[in-house]
Structure 1
Amino acid sequence: MGTLLRDDLFEAQLLRALGYAPYGGADVAECLSVARRISGTSLTSWHDEWSAQAARVLAGAEESASAGNVASARSAFFRASNYFRTAGLFAMGTPVDPRLIAAHTREVEAFRQGAALLAHPPTIVQVPYEGSSLPGYFFPAADDDEPRPTVILTNGYDGTAEELYFTNGAASLERGYNVLAFDGPGQGAMILDDGVPFRPDWENVITPVVDFLEQQVTVAPKRIALIGLSFGGYLAPRAATVEHRLAACISDCGPYDLFDATASRLPGFLAKQLPDGNPALLRLLDRLVKGVMGRPTAGWALRRNLMVHGLTDPMEFFRLAPQYTLKGIEDRIQCPTFVCSAENDDLSINAPKLHHALTCAKEYVQFAAADGAGEHCESGARTLFHRRAFDWLDHIVFPPTL
């Protein structure tokens, strides 16, 4: 948007919050009023203003709920949930900031109150996973026992299972899909409550989820699709390289190779030394990176990355990143795959390489800035993404009309 806030990252996250308005997660005027109250590039001001807005909306939700006004209460609970999430976003980092824990707790509570008022409320689920479980929600498309196509939603670095309802869940439900939204390792409750960091082999996360869905009578087992956005745009196709029960896969603005995506933001002569090059140059890089990490918004992404990977040293992250790659394994994906990028998004700039390397049935779309869809994950233009992605997916998982 370019004019409301003084910082590009603030602008991007404002647009992210605003973009959920079509699916009940935001009100345009509420978000703009918060933006006008934020002081400069202060992370404290960001947190406090979004928290205050969320609390006001939550109070309205509770008032409507007490009066039996279901639609008003649901809308306000959902908006409050999104605003609490937005409030805590920039507190991500290590050690864990108590404000992040509090914001996430209130996000979840508000979301669940709103979701309970849906025409078809979700079931809060715990998907069995390696002696533990993955927390999430199963949203039925209807109240009958008819087996239906189902989408699994997988998130990125800083999303939550609750946010997934707004990114892709509501759009899936209105098209007749069941929805399974969950927090995997490194995400939401898994990292904040249990301290479980990301893992590159996401097939070992998705396979238990598919196992779980195959046990549900309302799920058509041969019509399960996987949608990943942001870093989930890497995780989803990575899972599809091994998990061949998937009917389709959608990769929305994910990195083709995490190391390449992060190293491209470093001075070239220093990036060439990673991971084990000239010790003096690596020490210089370490000082530069740590200096950036101390800056409020410029250092946020790396502070967040260390947190979700369970790391404390930025150089550890650069050594870990090469494990998160699709290079050389793309031909193992067997299901039809939709790959997209956004015109202004450097994270997904190599999406065409993934699409070119695929040997399965495939589709590639670059979303354009001229259509308002040029930002990462088509922020602010999710309805356009949903039209293109679901028009493609519908033809694969829904049987033709006789």
Structure 2
Amino acid sequence: MTLVLHDDLFDAQFVRALAYVRSGGAEVGECIGTAHRITTMDPELWYREWLATAQRAEQDAVASSLAGDRAGARGAYLRASNYYRTAGLFLMGAPVDDRFRHAAARQTDTFRSGAALFASPPEILAIPYEGTTLPGYFFRAADDGRPRPTVILTNGYDGTVEELYFANGAAALERGYHVLAFDGPGQGSVILDQGIPFRPDWENVVTPVVDLAVARPDVDPDRLVLIGWSFGGYTAPRAATVEHRLAACVADSGPYDLYDAAVSRIPGALAHQLPDGNRVALALLDRALDSTMHKPSAGWALRRNLWVHGVDDPMAFLEIAPQYTLKGREHLIRCPTFVCHTAGDDISADARAMADALTCPHEYVEFGDDDDVSGHCEMTGRAVFHEHLFRWLAGVLRETREPALARENGQ
């Protein structure tokens, strides 16, 4: 069931933009008005209309700033950031469209302009990583300097480090957590500006981030939480198989096995020929995938996937997909882990199987009609997701903190 736009993908991305009303990234009327102007499911029209809304919000931000209205400027800049990100979304892919590059730059600039007007502006980070740096932000829940529990936010395929503030950061800050958000390989400006694609061994991405976090005097090293959403629902628990300084891990709507998730969308007769079956059948599959890739809506996810993984064609993507699996590694996760899934979300369809395979303490939650939650990553109910998550997390960190306090007191 779609809400406004008569296309599952377009409507889901509209809902995603709208979902950030509570965290300051959207206004209901602006989102619905923009969606109503998108009369055909055309990525070009989508870009133009969301860009116009973003530009109008940015102009309002400038006007409010000139009038001395910090609150108005902050809110309008943040909404503009979300709308710029939304505008460029369907232009993702290779070769990089200059309009996508422009929208990405504007979403970062407007976010930073808005965040600079927070009561406690975030620190802009350049996290050392294998001869380069990863972009990030450190948001403080308070400026009292005392060590606090801290959440590290890691993203999925098409999000940005700025969007992480709206998706999870604001909710964590409200509850007294510091927040460290970052873009890794295959994400945001790391793929766009540095050309670094995804890698399966996300522990090698998260460990430098944890190194930076635990070196800060305002971070409690015993209460460090890694939250991954969408494809981050794979990369976060994958990192936790090796990075054991985490007090807890969250897998929000990620695939248990990327290859299984990809092949589940291929007709059974052709899927059974993978990886090296009948040549004629595989050639038919190759042509079918190539045809799909050129469709504006149906092919968007595939075009995006190829770009962020640094491969040139769908069959090459299927060849590297088996590297992205938690199967056989679940027992390596030691910290308590929260796994969730929304009914009907095929990306995280095997979330229950992932949770059942864990040997660490874990919580599994399935959202659905009983919660009035739908969509990938609980997009119609992020507040409901946060209520479940942070209730669980409070108990986990309470158990973690008590032994740490005993050690500090020499008991």
TM > 0.5 between the two?
yes
Query: Paired residue for 1:358?
Result: 358
What is the rounded CA distance, in whole Å, between the counterparts of 1:326 and 1:19 in structure 2?
29
User: Aligned residues, how many?
Assistant: 402
Query: Paired residue for 2:236?
Result: 236
In the TM superposition, residue 119 of structure 1 has moved relative to its aligned partner by: 1.1
Q: Give yes or no for the alignment of 1:258 onto 2:258.
A: yes
What is the rounded CA distance, in whole Å, between the counterparts of 2:28 and 2:156 in structure 1?
24
What is the rounded CA distance, in whole Å, between the counterparts of 1:353 and 1:153 in structure 2?
24
Code of the residue aligned with 2:372 in structure 1: it is: G
CA deviation profile, 1:275-305 (whole Å, cap 9, x unmatched): 2222111110000000111110000000000
What is the rounded CA distance, in whole Å, between the counterparts of 2:49 and 2:35 in structure 1?
8
Code of the residue aligned with 1:247 in structure 2: it is: A
**Equivalent residue of 1:233, what SS?**
helix
Query: Paired residue for 1:13?
Result: 13
What is the rounded CA distance, in whole Å, between the counterparts of 2:236 and 2:86 in structure 1?
24
**Equivalent residue of 1:169, what SS?**
helix
What is the rounded CA distance, in whole Å, between the counterparts of 1:119 and 1:391 in structure 2?
26
> For structure 2, which runs of at least 5 residues remain unmatched after alignment?
406-411
Contact 1:274 1:319 in 2 (8 A): no
Query: Paired residue for 1:122?
Result: 122
Q: Give yes or no for the alignment of 1:285 onto 2:285.
A: yes
CA deviation profile, 1:121-140 (whole Å, cap 9, x unmatched): 10000111111111110111
> For structure 1, which runs of at least 5 residues remain unmatched after alignment?
none
What is the rounded CA distance, in whole Å, between the counterparts of 1:272 and 1:339 in structure 2?
29
Query: Paired residue for 1:394?
Result: 394
Query: Paired residue for 2:162?
Result: 162
What is the rounded CA distance, in whole Å, between the counterparts of 2:170 and 2:385 in structure 1?
13
Query: Paired residue for 1:60?
Result: 60
CA deviation profile, 1:28-77 (whole Å, cap 9, x unmatched): 11000001001211111000000000000100001111111111111110
Query: Paired residue for 2:273?
Result: 273
| Aligned counterparts, 1:31-70, within 5 A | 31-70=31-70
| Aligned counterparts, 1:76-95, within 5 A | 76-95=76-95
What is the rounded CA distance, in whole Å, between the counterparts of 1:133 and 1:228 in structure 2?
20
**Equivalent residue of 2:356, what SS?**
helix
Query: Paired residue for 1:204?
Result: 204
Query: Paired residue for 1:224?
Result: 224
CA deviation profile, 1:222-258 (whole Å, cap 9, x unmatched): 1100000000000000000010010000000000000
What is the rounded CA distance, in whole Å, between the counterparts of 2:331 and 2:187 in structure 1?
28
Range with bigger deviation, 371-380 or 78-87: 371-380
What is the rounded CA distance, in whole Å, between the counterparts of 2:105 and 2:263 in structure 1?
34
Contact 1:55 1:80 in 2 (8 A): yes
State the identity as a percent: 60
What is the rounded CA distance, in whole Å, between the counterparts of 2:155 and 2:12 in structure 1?
17
CA deviation profile, 1:156-175 (whole Å, cap 9, x unmatched): 00000000000000000010
**Equivalent residue of 1:19, what SS?**
helix
Query: Paired residue for 2:151?
Result: 151
In the TM superposition, residue 3 of structure 1 has moved relative to its aligned partner by: 4.6
TM-score normalised according to structure 1 size: 0.98
**Equivalent residue of 2:391, what SS?**
helix
Q: Give yes or no for the alignment of 1:2 onto 2:2.
A: yes
Query: Paired residue for 1:347?
Result: 347
What is the rounded CA distance, in whole Å, between the counterparts of 1:30 and 1:175 in structure 2?
28
Code of the residue aligned with 1:27 in structure 2: it is: E
**Equivalent residue of 1:186, what SS?**
coil
TM-score normalised according to structure 2 size: 0.96
Hey, which bits of structure 1, 4+ residues long, moved more than 3 A? 398-401
Contact 1:124 1:138 in 2 (8 A): yes
Code of the residue aligned with 1:189 in structure 2: it is: S
Query: Paired residue for 2:316?
Result: 316
What is the rounded CA distance, in whole Å, between the counterparts of 1:390 and 1:100 in structure 2?
35
Query: Paired residue for 1:25?
Result: 25
What is the rounded CA distance, in whole Å, between the counterparts of 1:19 and 1:344 in structure 2?
18
CA deviation profile, 1:177-210 (whole Å, cap 9, x unmatched): 1101000000000000000000000000000100
**RMSD (CA atoms):** 1.3
**Equivalent residue of 2:339, what SS?**
strand
In the TM superposition, residue 381 of structure 1 has moved relative to its aligned partner by: 0.8
In the TM superposition, residue 374 of structure 1 has moved relative to its aligned partner by: 2.2
Contact 2:374 2:380 in 1 (8 A): no
